[in-house]
Amino acid sequence: MYSKIKKISKIAKNPRLFVKYYKNRKRKSFNVEDGEVIGIVKKKYNSYKDYTDHQKAKLETIDNSTLSNYDKKFGNALMDRLKTGGEIKSGVSVLCLAARTGTEVKSFINLGCFAVGIDLNPGKDNKFVLPGDFHNLQYADNCVNVVFTNSIDHSFDVDKLIAEVKRVLKPGGYFINEIAGANNNKEALKSNFEAIIWDDINIMVNKISEHGFKIIKIVNIEYPWEGKHVIYKLV
């Protein structure tokens, strides 16, 4: 109870936090529908612009202190995961999808990679992430060694996203995907920023492999949520 009062007091004293808190509480509610794959539920947007406008709004609901804490904690956790295999080597090129402020980009850079991110809303003066849509990447065919994302649950069209990953990856390249565990809360989906949810994490793991990717490694993760760190190789 005390922590909740403290949070409200902090928000009340900071007009910028109040605006973000208000936006977060007043999220638009959407309908949901079953996807083509059994066990997947999709948020129903009226149009693609409706989808992109909604996803762009997420950054404005997160205060800077939360982002800073996430940046440090997730960045370190991701680097530890990437160090355990031989897939990530100094000098490889990496594209991070839906990278927001660039936490994952910085993790790859710290490991000696040439890395850049794209996001619908990377915020102002972001030197790590460029504006971009992971359903329609602005990059050439066969141009990067590694693609990373932990935001597949924010995709409007999973198959189109995976097709774009295949297009930009070099032959034998790696797709590293961090996937949240099972989440079948349809009521939460209506107002949250996720665009899809699934009953079983293996539904999404297998869906990606069916697009011509070979599963190289699966590691359980606990942060930023419980799920799996999955490394695929384009074959």
* Element (DSSP H or E) covering residue 232: strand 227-234
The amino acid at residue 162 is I
pLDDT for position 28: 82
| CATH number assigned to the domain comprising residue 74 | 3.40.50.150
Q: C-alpha angle with apex 52: 50 to 53, nearest 5 degrees? A: 65
Counted domains in the chain: 1
Q: What are the residue ranges in the chain where pLDDT is below 70? A: 1-27
pLDDT for position 13: 53
Q: Which of 184, 156, 192 is nearest to 28 (CA)?
A: 192
* Cβ neighbours, 10 Å, residue 211: 16
The model's pTM: 0.88
Q: Which of 34, 11, 32, 38 is nearest to 194 (CA)?
A: 32
Cα separation, 195 vs 117, in Å, equals: 20
Task: Tell me the residue range of the domain where 26 lies.
Answer: 2-234
Q: Environment class of residue 158 by beta-carbon count within 10 Å: exposed (0-12), middle (13-18) or buried (19+)?
A: buried
